[in-house]
Amino acid sequence: MAKEPRRAVQELLRWPGNTRCADCGAPDPDWASYTLGVFICLSCSGIHRSIPQISKVKSVRLDAWDEAQVEFMASHGNEAARATFESKVPSFYYRPTSSDCQLLREQWVRAKYERQEFILLEKQEPYSAGYREGLLWKRGRDNGQFLSRKFVLTEREGALKYFNKNDAKEPKAIMKIEHLNATFQPAKIGHPHGLQVTYLKDNSTRNIFVYHEDGKEMVDWFNALRAARFHYLQVAFPGASDMDLVPKLSRNYLKEGYMEKTGPKQTEGFRKRWFTMDDRRLMYFKDPLDAFARGEVFIGSKESGYTVLEGLPPSTQGYHWPHGITIVTPDRKFLFTCETEADRKEWVEAFQRVVDRPMLPQEYAVEAHFKHKP
C-alpha cells in the first residue's frame, strides 16, 4: 500500500541535505517550496511567500500534499537545488545564516531563485566589477540627520570614498580597504537596511552609518566591499587560501550593549556607556551612533597576562548596576558593571573567548600602539 503523501514528504526530511534549511542552514526545516523542490525553515518560508511567481510553499506537517508534489520533492531536494542555484557563488559573497538580519536573508533568497545571480555570471557585475558608485543616505556626525551622499568604491585605489556634494572634486573622507569593516545594524541605525562601516583614522576607529531604500542596492554595496577586501588580502597574503581569507572580509561584533565603567584611578563614579567588542578592541561610546569612541581597550590573550573575572575588587564604590566584571591587563584593571546577571554572563563569555585565543604576530603591534596611546 502506498504511503500517505504527507508522511512520504516528511520522510524526505531525513535525506542528506534536507535536514537543514536550504537557505539559512537552520536545523529541522518543516516547510517546503514545492515549485523549487527545497526544504526551508519557517522564517525563510516567509521570504519565499514574497516571490509567489517563483516559489509556492507548504507546511510539511500541516498542509495536504499530493503524490505529484511528493515525487517532485523527492527528485529535487536541497542538495540538487544547491548544485543549480548556488553553482557560481563568488568566494567573497556573504552567505547568511539563521542569525543574520532579515535583509541579508531575503536578498540571498531573491538573488538565488528570482534573479538567478549564481547561475548567470553577468548578474554579478554590481559587486564583482571592482568599482562601484552611487548615493547612500549617511548619518551626519554632529546633528544625526541622514543626508544623501555620493560614495565611490575603487579597488584600484584601495579605497571607499564619499563626497559631500555630487560635483565635489575632493572626497570628504577616504577609507582604506585595508582597515575597513561593514556590518548590518538595522536595530541600532533604526532602518532595516542600515549598515555600519568602520575604518581606522589615525589608528582610532571611526564609524559611519548608511542605508539605501532599495535592499538589493545595500546588499550589493556590502558584497562589493567584501570583494574589495578579498582582492586586497589576496595580494597582501599571496600564499593564503580562499578559506583562510573569507573569514577576514567582514566581521560582526562579538557583543554590544550598555555597561557602566569607571576611570583608571577607580575613584570617580561609574558612568553608563555603550560598548562594542570588535575583535580585540573593546570600544566605548556615549551614544551607540557616535562617530568616534570615547576610549578603546585592547584585550590580549591569557598568555600575555590578560584575565577576565566576575565581580569587582572589594573596595570599589560609586557603581549603580550590581553585576561587576574586572578585566586585568598587564598595565591595569578595568572595572565594568552590568544591569542584569544574564548580561554579565554574555559579556564574560565574549571576553573569555578573546582571552582564550592566542595572539597573532600582527596583534602584538596593535597592543604596543594601545600602550603608547595618550
Q: In what order do the strands lie in the sheet with 323-328?
A: 295-298, 281-285, 271-278, 255-261, 333-338, 323-328, 307-310
Q: Check residue 1 and give its pLDDT.
A: 38
Percent of the chain clearing pLDDT 70 (strictly above) = 98
Q: Check residue 361 and give its pLDDT.
A: 83
Q: Check residue 374 and give its pLDDT.
A: 39
pLDDT tens per residue, range 236-284: 999 999 999 999 999 999 999 999 999 877 777 899 999 999 999 999 9
Q: Check residue 371 and give its pLDDT.
A: 64
Q: What span, in angstroms and rounded, lies between the C-alpha atoms of 40 and 59?
A: 10
Q: Is the pLDDT of residue 363 over 90?
A: no
CB atoms within 10 A of CB 367: 18
Q: Check residue 202 and give its pLDDT.
A: 81
Strands (E), 13-116: 31-33, 38-40, 57-59
Over the chain, what is the mean pLDDT? 94
> Burial level of 91, CB count in 10 A (0-12/13-18/19+)?
middle
- The enclosing H or E element of 224 equals helix 215-236
Q: What span, in angstroms and rounded, lies between the C-alpha atoms of 140 and 215?
A: 21
> In 66-169, which ranges are continuous DSSP H helix?
67-75, 78-85, 102-109, 125-128
Domains along the chain? 2-121 (1.10.220.150), 125-247 (2.30.29.30), 255-372 (2.30.29.30)
Angle between helices 5-12 and 67-75 (to 10 degrees): 10
Q: Is the pLDDT of residue 370 over 80?
A: no
Q: What span, in angstroms and rounded, lies between the C-alpha atoms of 180 and 251?
A: 10
Q: Check residue 132 and give its pLDDT.
A: 97
Q: Mean pLDDT over residues 9-23, rounded?
A: 95
Greater confidence, 369 or 111? 111
Q: Give, as one character, the DSSP assignment of residue 292.
A: B
Q: Check residue 116 and give its pLDDT.
A: 97
Q: Check residue 222 and give its pLDDT.
A: 98
* Residue 301 near residue 278 (C-beta atoms within 8 A): no
Q: What span, in angstroms and rounded, lies between the C-alpha atoms of 222 and 244?
A: 20
User: What are the grid coordinates assigned to 269, written together?
Assistant: 563614579
> Burial level of 27, CB count in 10 A (0-12/13-18/19+)?
exposed
pTM above 0.95, yes or no: no
pLDDT category at 43 given cuts 50, 70, 90 is very high
Q: What span, in angstroms and rounded, lies between the C-alpha atoms of 352 and 346?
A: 10
